Structure 1
Amino acid sequence: MSSSAAAQILIEVTRGAMTESVHRGHISVVDFRRHTIAFTGNPDYYTYIRSTAKPIQAIPLLEAGGLERYSFTPAELALCCASHNGESAHAETALAVLRKSGLDESALRCGVHEPLYRPAADALKQSGQTATPLHNNCSGKHAGMLALSVLLQAPTQQYTATAHPVQLKMLQTVAEMCGVAPESIGLGTDGCGVPVFAMPLSALAYGYARLGRPEELSAPRADACRQVISAMRAAPYYVAGTGRYDTRLAEVTGGRIIGKMGAEGVYALTVPQEGLGLALKIEDGAERALYPAATEALLQLGLLSPSEADQLEAFHQPAVTNRRGETVGIIRPVFRLQRS
């Protein structure tokens, strides 16, 4: 295993009998004791982890007593970990989180975009309404950050700033969970305006392994990790939404596997019973390659039953269709994981 290993072709996109495009990337599978279990490409590939950080970013809110103070429901806590569709239930739940901390949607600094779920966007237009920050796919994370800001008695107006107490706690917690020094984490600005973290894929996989199997962490942190997993397991619709992979993966496996996508082709998941974490990066950022690669990795690791694989087949090898809805090709995984 070399830290300078080249990206591997993970996914081929065919049209007819020809491979028309390929997507290269990297995968790292690590257990909760930081042993590398399997990989392809460069398991230490350094990249922004984007929204895969969200479940870990929920931990400081819980360590500060957020569950007791606000009596969050599983759906509300799951939404704090979400990149949601902006469906009506998602927007309403984000508002509920804000109200529990004495705020409303005007406090959100995540920006506005239409719901990711096209029927939800169409329904807004047909009703004569426009999208608000509540429909932003990151509104749950931002609502959680604001709730933590209130708990810390910190200014809510600047909660997205890198030097704000909330963001400092986020950075420290992500660093500790992923086993890296805070100063080694690259910082940028995410699409929703808050700091985004860069680290090796193997560190992200380790963080997810510990999130699902936190037995070696302090009692307060272990409790927070279990609360995050319990919420995402109980309310997977609020992690993503209708038709989304994160939701279906949890539903199909009965919460045995919990995953979270990130923009620009990043995915991370935890298998708590096995103490495993997996992180992958599609180098060109293509989302169409992300879920086939994640599903194939789970299959190669023996972590999906035949029934579960059948239910995830539409994500595993999606059809390429033309404008008439005819199948003209396929998006297929072509990699093999190396075992350590």
Structure 2
Amino acid sequence: MSEILLNYTRAGKVESIHRGDIAVVDVKGKVIDAIGDAHRAMFWRSAAKPFQVLPFVKQGGMQQYNITGEELALMVSSHSGENLHVELTNSILGKVGLSANVLACGPARPMDGRASRELVKLGQKPEPVHNPCSGKHSAMLALCQMLGLPVEGYTEDEHQVQKIMHQAVAASACLSPEKLEIGIDGCGVPVFYLPIYNMALAYARLVKPESGNWGEDEEAITTIRNAMLEYPQVVAGTGRIDTVLMNLTKGRILAKVGAEAVYCLASVPDGIGITFKIEDGGHRAINPVIIGILKKLDLITTAEYDELIAKFPPILKNHRGDIIGTIETTF
């Protein structure tokens, strides 16, 4: 059963709460800490992206199409729609011989406020390239091109490219494919339903490939990890905690958001994967829970903690800017 992770207070009284579940797992699969139900099943959403791109990397797609590490980071991103992200999306598609009009993720307003305002200023509408999942879709299209599969219908669960990715994600989470249920994600492709324990295990294996029993996939998964850690700005965007955290810890912590407040973290030196799910899907709960977990597990220094608190202060303000409440972790 989910437990209370955050209290939102006003005048010293609890006004709102967020419940959730947390699983902390080492690279060998041992649960080393948990709050709530470490085996709660949930949709992985965009936090599955590092494993969806695995078949493309493993089968030599980067070499075949001259894909850079920065472009690979875009393939696993939930990006903010900044100019850098749009340029990388177009670059990937151009390298595989396609244009942006084949993207089937749908248009989306950039998550980055400045990028969104710039579109309005220019009188332009959001396009699929601004969708935070355009990198993932570019990777799917690139895999289609590499394997000679039809681009048409690439988002459907019966398309061969989706079947290939389904198998890769299942194996990454140490599950058989038939145990990995699917739904449809916000960008129109299959999304995976599995225990948060297995999500955390996959991230532990991602950051410590040499100990993760990847077999012939080890080189590819190492390449994916390195791309994420080398290009944090691409993985998320300006001011977002994924990017801030990877930059602040100099790649010691890897971080990846999923929609509906599912989130995955991992400590590279320790081979520890962390997944949490906020029960009500409230995005506002993500930052304070991340900071609280990292502090609880002693995975960040005092200076790093202080900087995260300064960037993401656990306080509530009114419209005048007065501090009128706090955000407090309960663990």
Q: Assess same fold via TM > 0.5.
A: yes
Map 1:318-337 onto structure 2 (within 5 A): 318-335=314-331
- Deviation of 1:74 (Å): 2.1
Select between 64-73 and 102-111 the one with higher mean Cα deviation. 64-73
Map of 2:107 onto structure 1: 112
- The reply on whether 1:36 has 2:31 as its aligned counterpart is yes
Identity %: 42
Structure 2 counterpart of 1:180: 175
After TM superposition, where is structure 1 displaced by more than 4 Å over at least 4 residues in a row?
314-317
In 1, distance between residues paired with 2:61 and 2:323?
A: 49
Cα distance in 2, alignment partners of residues 66 and 331 from structure 1: 45
Match of 1:121 in 2: 116
Residue identity matched to 1:279: T
Give the Cα separation in 2 of the matches to 1:270 and 1:38.
Answer: 13
Q: How does 1:152-301 map to 2 (within 5 A)?
A: 152-215=147-210, 216-301=212-297
User: Partner of 1:18 in structure 2?
Assistant: 13
Letter of the aligned partner of 2:110 in structure 1? P
In the aligned structure 2, how far is the partner of 1:267 from the partner of 1:119? Answer: 25
**8 Å CA contact retained: 1:49, 1:196:** yes
Q: How far, CA to CA, are the matches of 1:332 and 1:145 in structure 2?
A: 41
Counterpart for residue 139 of structure 2: 144
Matched position secondary structure for 1:61? helix
Give the match's secondary structure for 2:34: strand
Q: Which amino acid aligns with 1:290?
A: I
SS in 2 for 1:241: coil
Shift in Å, 1:317: 4.5
Moved more, 257-266 or 122-131: 122-131
Matched, 1:94 2:89: yes
SS, match of residue 149 in structure 2: coil
* Residue 14 (structure 2) pairs with residue 8 (structure 1): no
Q: C-alpha displacement at 1:314, in angstroms?
A: 4.3
For residue 44 of structure 2, what is the aligned residue in structure 1? 49
CA distance in 1, matches of 2:251, 2:261: 23
Partner-residue secondary structure (3-state), 1:273: coil
**SS, match of residue 312 in structure 1:** helix
TM-score for both structures, normalised by structure 1: 0.94
Give the Cα separation in 2 of the matches to 1:314 and 1:172.
42
Provide the C-alpha distance between the structure 1 equivalents of 2:177 and 2:213, rounded to a whole number of angstroms. 18
Deviates more, 1:280-289 or 1:315-324: 315-324
Where does the alignment leave 5 or more consecutive residues of structure 2 unmatched? none
Deviation (angstroms), 1:82: 0.7
What's the Cα RMSD here?
1.2
Aligned partner of 1:3 in structure 2 is: none
Q: Which runs of 5+ in 1 are unaligned?
A: 1-5, 336-340
Residue 217 of structure 1: how far off its partner (Å): 3.1
Q: Residues of 2 paired with 1:207 and 1:218: CA distance?
A: 10
SS at match of 1:221: helix
Q: 1:125 to 1:14 in 2, by over 3 A?
A: same
State the AA in 1 paired with 2:53: A
Q: Name the residue aligned to 1:64.
A: 59
Flag the 1:155–1:303 CA change in 2: closer, same or farther, 3 A: same
Deviates more, 1:61-70 or 1:37-46: 61-70
Alpha-carbon shift at residue 73 of structure 1 (Å): 1.9
217-226 or 260-269: bigger deviation: 217-226
Contact 1:316 1:332 in 2 (8 A): no
TM-score, normalising length: structure 2: 0.97
Which amino acid in 2 is paired with 1:50? R
Q: Deviations over 1:158-194 (max 9, x none)?
A: 1111011211111111111111121122210000000
Cα-to-partner distance string for 1:20-74 (whole Å, 9 max, x where unaligned): 1000000001111111111010000011011110111121110111111122222
Aligned to 1:259, the other structure's residue is in SS state strand
How many Å apart are 1:8 and its aligned residue?
0.7
Query: What residue number does 1:338 align with?
Result: none
